[in-house]
Chain A
Amino acid sequence: MSLLDTPGATPIEMAPSAQPAAYDPVWAAADPNQPATVLPSRPAAARTPAQPRPIGGLSRADLLMMVGAAVSSLCITMLLFGRLTPLKGKFGFVLVAFVLYLVVYAVLSSLTERNTAVVDKVMSIAFTAAALVAFFALASVILYVFIKGWQAFTNWNFFTEDMSSTGPLDPLSQGGVAHAIVGTLIMMTISLIITVPLGIACAVYLNETRGKFANLVRTIVTAMTALPSILAGLFIFITWILILGFRPSGFAASLAISIMMLPIIIRASDVVLRLVPGNLREASAALGAPQWRTVWHVVLPTARSGLTTAVILGVARGVGETAPVLLTAGAANAMNVNPTADPMISLPLAAYNFVKAPGEILHARGFAAAAVLMLLVLVLFTVARILGGRPAGRLSKRQTRKAAAQSLDDLARIEALSTGSK
């Protein structure tokens, strides 16, 4: 229906391109091949003002639509799987139900919404679903390991005994992974003693000095983050054990883990140190502090929380590494607290070995060892979240109180000095 049909319009000869810009969008609908001139007229009814489009948030109608779509897709899927087609399988059921849900939801919302809004809604659902899949997978990993390991976990001896006098068929009330826990702790301690000073010093070097050599070091460190962990193990295996002739030991494993952790810690600390505001450094220099004092008293304390996080995340990576330990530690069944002499074992390696061997009981032990490892990682991770996560220079409440008390003391000291000198 166009204005051309109305009797009041007088057609005259006019090129379509020369038509005046219309006030009224009705022009868009007019046939351009029929030249005509029209008195522009506003429509009689005042237009309703445009409503802002709601971004995010759920309205009641949305919620009802979701529930409706869910119910109907579930019903259709059940019909498909039970009656109409020979489809079967849990995974297929979920997949078909989800696709149907999207379709039904799209159709439902297209009743009230325009196409762009329908696409938007469907995409939001798709993102949510993908995130749910990811977090469901994480939850299933953690829960599964804990459930399968629970039986061994509840026997107290699991944490206090080793496997030296326990055979593969012995029940879970005998033997445990104390040796692996101790081994893991010893290996991580040695690795930390090596990597933390070296890593942080190197990160300070990268940040506090400029030059070609620093850039070279940074490039090489970046390259080494790509080193597959098994190659770190193979390197130590060939140099330390085969060429230098040492026996497989906890120390060798620590060396391999250190090689793997070092680039991770350097890179993470480098990023954190780069975030320390330059004006703090300049203020310190302006007060006459030499560079080492600036680094020691300003840069490192400012970045403390970030550095802690960097180290802890490095440890979380290192503690779970199996491949380098497999090649270098030898596998011990007995408690060994001497890292330099005899074979040692770590928790991930113990879990791996238990599971590789046949037998339900050993598998349960393997899962329990993995669960202990998981707990260790969880604890480390929580500590890292509590300590870290604050940007450089932002203080916690306790630190703020401490700093305030310090400056009150300073004030008292200065006042005492100034009154004393008068």
Chain B
Amino acid sequence: MSSTFIPETPAGAPATPRTLETKLVRSDQIFRRGVAMSGVVVLMIMGAVGLFLTLKAVPALREAGFGFFSTADWEVSRGKFGIAAVLTGTILIAAVAVSVALPISIATALFITEVAPVWMRSWLVALVDLMAAVPSVVYGLWGLFLLQGQAVGVARFINSWFDWIPLFHVNGADPNSPLASASVYTASTFIAGIVVAMMVMPIQCVVMREVFSQVPIGEREGAFALGATRWGMIRAVTLPFGRGGMIGGTMLGLGRALGETIAVVLIISPLFKINFHILQVGSNSVSSLIAIRYVESTPMSLSALMAAGLVLFMITLVVNFTASWFVARSRSGAGSEA
């Protein structure tokens, strides 16, 4: 006769999980403390930059009040200064840069991952990386001396056909007269934007290529097995898979475009008026304002520059965080660096 035997729980205190504790050896305690110190130092440096920027910006913001965002002039000694013009210029330059760079970077990334023969790929990747490493002053020289001459013709062409769009209108230009001076088309937002696009393109392309190369091979082959062409596969698999990375990469490029200094300083002729005509001479940006005006070292003018820099930093910060949020949230972004 057999029955199920139920063991009795022993009387006394109920069983509790054993607590595990790790005790670091002394050398490890020192090691932990050491690397933690480096973290603290980095945090302090970075915190100091942010804090200092904010604190120093306060006097100027207090003096200018809300007018800081609506004034286009920059005459600190007369108390009349604001970032309306420079911020508009910054955003317009970045917008031109991204809209020029985006199609090229997407297509280049797709070319590298999908179209190019395999032996060529590592070379192309190296070239794009190199493009990202070219110093901005080199792009600035190229833009000032080579590109400007070529781009003026393009600007004139766009102006003569799309003058009815306010963005492409140019004051004082006569596109129909062959003798009209081309100087109204130089030093414009458009040309600065193209030069910045050269810097933005590789940054976007690197992120996108990284994401496209992670498309699961099974899904690719599935699309081909269903009879898709290469473009059909790209549209149905690669682009949806890489969407997060594409948005993230675009915004990373945008962040870089907003902060670019030297190339913009070299190209534009500074203008403290809100100028929406992107083809017309004269533009401005926050960082070029700082680069040009830092020499006027009265405390208030520096504080005003700090305030402008702070606004720029806030914008790039939001853009970058949004970018990394998009990349991290996407299916593809788990391991990619962005």
Is A131 interfacial (CB-CB < 8 Å)?
yes
Of B11-19, B241-249, B257-265, B268-276, the stretch lying at the interface with chain A is B257-265
The contact of A237 among B47, B294, B313, by CB within 8 Å, is B294
Is B58 interfacial (CB-CB < 8 Å)?
no
Given contacts A131-B111, A134-B104, A291-B24, contact A223 B321 (CB under 8 A): yes
In the assembled complex, the CB of B119 is this many whole angstroms from the nearest CB of chain A, namely 13
The contact of A235 among B49, B114, B229, B337, by CB within 8 Å, is B49
Interchain CB contact under 8 A, A209 and B133: no
Distance, CA A242 to CA B258, complexed state (A)? 27
- Produce 1/0 per residue, A250-281, CB < 8 A to B: 00000000010011001110010000000000
In the assembled complex, the CB of A62 is this many whole angstroms from the nearest CB of chain B, namely 13
Interchain CB contact under 8 A, B135 and A373: yes
Is B43 interfacial (CB-CB < 8 Å)?
yes
The contact of B309 among A91, A230, A271, A351, by CB within 8 Å, is A230
Is B103 interfacial (CB-CB < 8 Å)?
yes
Distance, CA A140 to CA B139, complexed state (A)? 10
Which residues of chain A come closer than 8 Å to B266, judged between CB atoms?
352, 355-356
- CB-contacts of B100-134 with A (<8 A): 103-105, 107-108, 110-112, 114-116, 124, 126-131, 133-134
Which residues of chain B come closer than 8 Å to A370, judged between CB atoms?
135, 137-138, 141
Interchain CB contact under 8 A, A351 and B53: no
The contact of A320 among B124, B138, B291, by CB within 8 Å, is B138
Which residues of chain B come closer than 8 Å to A204, judged between CB atoms?
35, 38
Distance, CA A204 to CA B261, complexed state (A)? 33
The contact of B111 among A128, A322, A377, by CB within 8 Å, is A128
Given contacts A201-B35, A262-B45, contact A226 B305 (CB under 8 A): no
In the assembled complex, the CB of B313 is this many whole angstroms from the nearest CB of chain A, namely 6
Given contacts A131-B107, A348-B137, contact A385 B126 (CB under 8 A): yes
In the assembled complex, the CB of B193 is this many whole angstroms from the nearest CB of chain A, namely 14
- Produce 1/0 per residue, B58-86, CB < 8 A to A: 00000000000000000000000000000
Which residues of chain A come closer than 8 Å to B229, judged between CB atoms?
53, 55, 116-117, 119-120
Which residues of chain A come closer than 8 Å to B320, judged between CB atoms?
222-223, 225-226
Is A34 interfacial (CB-CB < 8 Å)?
no
Interchain CB contact under 8 A, B141 and A226: no
- Produce 1/0 per residue, B11-54, CB < 8 A to A: 00000000000001101101110111011011101110110110
Which residues of chain A come closer than 8 Å to B124, judged between CB atoms?
131, 135
The contact of A323 among B27, B107, B127, B291, by CB within 8 Å, is B291
Is A221 interfacial (CB-CB < 8 Å)?
yes
The contact of B49 among A140, A213, A214, A227, by CB within 8 Å, is A227
Distance, CA A89 to CA B312, complexed state (A)? 38
Distance, CA A45 to CA B166, complexed state (A)? 64
Of A3-11, A141-149, A166-174, A185-193, the stretch lying at the interface with chain B is A141-149
- CB-contacts of A102-149 with B (<8 A): 116-117, 119-120, 123-124, 126-131, 133-135, 137-138, 140-142, 144-145, 148
In the assembled complex, the CB of A138 is this many whole angstroms from the nearest CB of chain B, namely 5
Given contacts A134-B131, A145-B142, A348-B262, contact A116 B232 (CB under 8 A): yes
Interchain CB contact under 8 A, B45 and A234: no
Q: Which residue, of A89, A92, A141, A321, has the highest number of chain B Cβ atoms within 10 A? A: A141
Q: Which residue, of B41, B139, B230, has the highest number of chain A Cβ atoms within 10 A? A: B230
Is A183 interfacial (CB-CB < 8 Å)?
no
Distance, CA A201 to CA B50, complexed state (A)? 22
In the assembled complex, the CB of A292 is this many whole angstroms from the nearest CB of chain B, namely 4
In the assembled complex, the CB of A183 is this many whole angstroms from the nearest CB of chain B, namely 15
Which residues of chain A come closer than 8 Å to B1, judged between CB atoms?
none
Is chain B's binding surface mostly helix, strand, loop or mixed?
helix
Which residues of chain B come closer than 8 Å to A317, judged between CB atoms?
133
Interchain CB contact under 8 A, B302 and A242: yes
> Could you say which interface size class chain A belongs to?
35 or more
- CB-contacts of A303-332 with B (<8 A): 313, 316-317, 319-323, 326-327
Is A182 interfacial (CB-CB < 8 Å)?
no
Is A295 interfacial (CB-CB < 8 Å)?
yes
- CB-contacts of B151-174 with A (<8 A): 153-154, 157
Which residues of chain A come closer than 8 Å to B139, judged between CB atoms?
141
Distance, CA A160 to CA B314, complexed state (A)? 44
Is A97 interfacial (CB-CB < 8 Å)?
no
Interchain CB contact under 8 A, B39 and A205: yes
Which residues of chain B come closer than 8 Å to A153, judged between CB atoms?
none
- CB-contacts of A76-108 with B (<8 A): 89-92
Interchain CB contact under 8 A, A267 and B313: no
In the assembled complex, the CB of B296 is this many whole angstroms from the nearest CB of chain A, namely 12
In the assembled complex, the CB of B253 is this many whole angstroms from the nearest CB of chain A, namely 12
- Produce 1/0 per residue, B303-338, CB < 8 A to A: 001100100110011011100100000000000010
Q: Which residue, of B52, B129, B130, has the highest number of chain A Cβ atoms within 10 A? A: B130
- CB-contacts of A212-241 with B (<8 A): 213-214, 216-217, 220-232, 234-235, 237-239
- CB-contacts of A346-386 with B (<8 A): 348, 351-352, 355-356, 363, 366-367, 370, 373-374, 377-378, 380-381, 385
Interchain CB contact under 8 A, A127 and B28: no
The contact of B43 among A217, A227, A291, by CB within 8 Å, is A217
Distance, CA A374 to CA B131, complexed state (A)? 11
Interchain CB contact under 8 A, A355 and B45: no
Is A290 interfacial (CB-CB < 8 Å)?
yes
Nearest to A199 among chain B residues (CB) is B42
Given contacts A227-B49, A290-B27, A377-B134, contact A135 B127 (CB under 8 A): yes
Is B4 interfacial (CB-CB < 8 Å)?
no
Interchain CB contact under 8 A, B135 and A321: yes
Distance, CA A91 to CA B154, complexed state (A)? 7
Interchain CB contact under 8 A, A228 and B309: yes
Is A66 interfacial (CB-CB < 8 Å)?
no
Distance, CA A225 to CA B316, complexed state (A)? 9
What 17 new A-B contacts, CB under 8 Å, besides A148-B145, A231-B309? A116-B231, A120-B231, A129-B107, A134-B131, A144-B145, A202-B35, A209-B36, A217-B39, A228-B258, A228-B316, A230-B287, A231-B49, A238-B52, A291-B28, A352-B262, A355-B144, A367-B141
The 8 closest A-B pairs by CB, nearest first: A320-B135, A228-B259, A130-B107, A292-B31, A201-B38, A120-B229, A205-B35, A226-B320
Can you list 5 contacts pairing A with B, beta carbon distance less than 8 Å? A116-B231, A197-B38, A229-B259, A229-B261, A230-B261
